[in-house]
Amino acid sequence: MQVMLKYLIRRLLTLVPVLLGVTFITFILMDLAPGDPAEILLTRRDIEVTPENLQLAREALGVDGPLPLRYANWLLDVLQGNLGTSFTTGEPVSAEILGRLPATAELAAGGLLVMFLLAFPLGTVAALLRGTVGDHIGRLTALVGASIPSFYLGLLLITYIAVPMEGIPVMGKDEGLISLLLPSVTLGFGLAATYARLLRANLLEVLQLDYIRSARSRGLREAVIIGRHAFRNALIPVVTLLGITMGHLLGGTVVVERIFAWPGVGRLAVEAIFDRNYPVIQGYVLLMGLAFVCMNLVIDLSYRLLDPRVRMEEGEGKVS
């Protein structure tokens, strides 16, 4: 347990340089990007754009100082728990992001669920039926799934499922769980293709290993061999990819959120970028960094559950 705690603390400490790095780089990138938030704000409020007005607006938004100073100020605020206020709405950034986060989390969970339901049976069946017609059909489906852009799949689903079958919502999330259906399927289908292919390849690799042959020579049932011996070992690389995917999903899936008018963080971020809404962008980047690092930590911890070799590395030694 001591080992585990030390490990956790060490991993959490690595968060600091990562977050400093990503936020600083975003700060520089936004400064380099064309477009002036002050000008955008003035135009939007129908105020005449004059040098004086611009200067006033810049001071009001806090975008007039030199870059290192602005970053230092932002950092100080963040350390006190203040992410700033949105240029466009005047709301606190933390409230804006936190308000959108549940919707994104719901969509992420829905997408992952669809992915699991599709990818695991498909990948397993394809591996077991290797080289047969079933395998080829599965692989072709996976190829199509991986190639089809999500905006197109979303539109197809709306046209051929939501429109003929009235009652399936296609906009927003106001109708409860059912409104999650189409966005989740759109998101999950594309993911499922990648995962099914990965799982199939890993399963095939594991099924070639000597200990599977040894398990067969001991007269175990094929179901036991696959479920108990092959699957768990084939899952290890899948879990790695899952960490990256979950990081992405928590950052919001811009395209899917846009098609289904889903009020998640992805849409918030895109709007903020169009408006040069610096505090919201910074807040979003901070959240993304946090999400990625935390997801990687969760994944590393789950390796320990899946693979005792990782678990024991720093713990107990060899039995002798």
Partner 1 sequence: MDNVHKQVLEVKNLSANFYTSRGLIRAADNINFNVGQSECLAIIGESGAGKSVTALSLLRLVPHPGRIEEGEINLEGRDLLQLNPKEMRRVRGEDLALVFQDSLSTFNPVRTIGSHICETITAHRKLSSAEARDMARCKLAEMGLPAERSFRSFPFQLSGGMRQRAALAMAMSLHPRVLIADEATTSLDVTLQAQILHYLKKHLQECCMSLLFITHDLAAAAAVADRVAVMYAGRIVESGPVREVFRQPLHPYTSALLRSHPSFCPGRLEPINGSPPDLADLSPGCAFSPRCLKGREICRNKVPSLQELWPEQQAACHFHQARKNDLREAAVT
Q: Which is nearer to partner 1, 45 or 309 (CB)?
A: 309
How far is CA 235 from its chain centroid?
A: 19
Q: Which is nearer to partner 1, 45 or 218 (CB)?
A: 218
Q: Which is nearer to partner 1, 150 or 233 (CB)?
A: 233
Are 249 and 291 contacting, i.e. CB atoms less than 8 angstroms apart?
no
Q: Is 3 in the site for partner 1 (CB under 8 A)?
A: no
* Minimal distance, residue 215 CB to partner 1, in Å: 7
Q: Which is nearer to partner 1, 113 or 305 (CB)?
A: 305
Q: What single DSSP character describes residue 160? A: I
Q: Is 33 in the site for partner 1 (CB under 8 A)?
A: no
Q: Is 211 in the site for partner 1 (CB under 8 A)?
A: yes
Q: Is 34 in the site for partner 1 (CB under 8 A)?
A: no
How far is CA 134 from its chain centroid?
A: 31
- Residues in contact with partner 1, shown as a per-residue x/- string from 214 to 233 under the rule CB under 8 A: xxxxxxxx--x---xx--xx
Are 65 and 225 contacting, i.e. CB atoms less than 8 angstroms apart?
no
Q: Which of residues 35-94 bind partner 1 (CB under 8 A)?
A: none
Q: Which is nearer to partner 1, 44 or 136 (CB)?
A: 136
Q: Which is nearer to partner 1, 66 or 131 (CB)?
A: 131
Are 235 and 306 contacting, i.e. CB atoms less than 8 angstroms apart?
yes
Q: Is 132 in the site for partner 1 (CB under 8 A)?
A: no
Q: How far is CA 253 from CA 99, 264, 267, 277, in A?
A: 16, 8, 8, 19
At residue 84, φ and ψ (nearest 5 deg) are 90, 180
At residue 92, φ and ψ (nearest 5 deg) are -65, 140
* Minimal distance, residue 216 CB to partner 1, in Å: 6
* Minimal distance, residue 235 CB to partner 1, in Å: 10
* Minimal distance, residue 214 CB to partner 1, in Å: 5
Q: How far is CA 84 from CA 29, 90, 121, in A?
A: 19, 9, 46
Q: Which is nearer to partner 1, 261 or 306 (CB)?
A: 306
Phi-psi region at 125: left, alpha or beta (left = phi > 0; alpha = psi -120 to 50):
alpha
By CB under 8 A, the count of residues binding partner 1 is 26
* Minimal distance, residue 222 CB to partner 1, in Å: 8
* Minimal distance, residue 311 CB to partner 1, in Å: 9
DSSP string, 222-267: HHHIIIIIIHHHHHHHHHHHHHHHHHHHHT--HHHHHHTT--SHHH
| CB-based contacts of 273, cutoff 8 Å, min separation 6 | 281
Q: Is 205 in the site for partner 1 (CB under 8 A)?
A: no
* Minimal distance, residue 119 CB to partner 1, in Å: 21
Q: Summarize as ranges the residues that interact with partner 1 (CB under 8 A).
A: 209-211, 213-221, 224, 228-229, 232-233, 306-309, 312, 316, 318-320
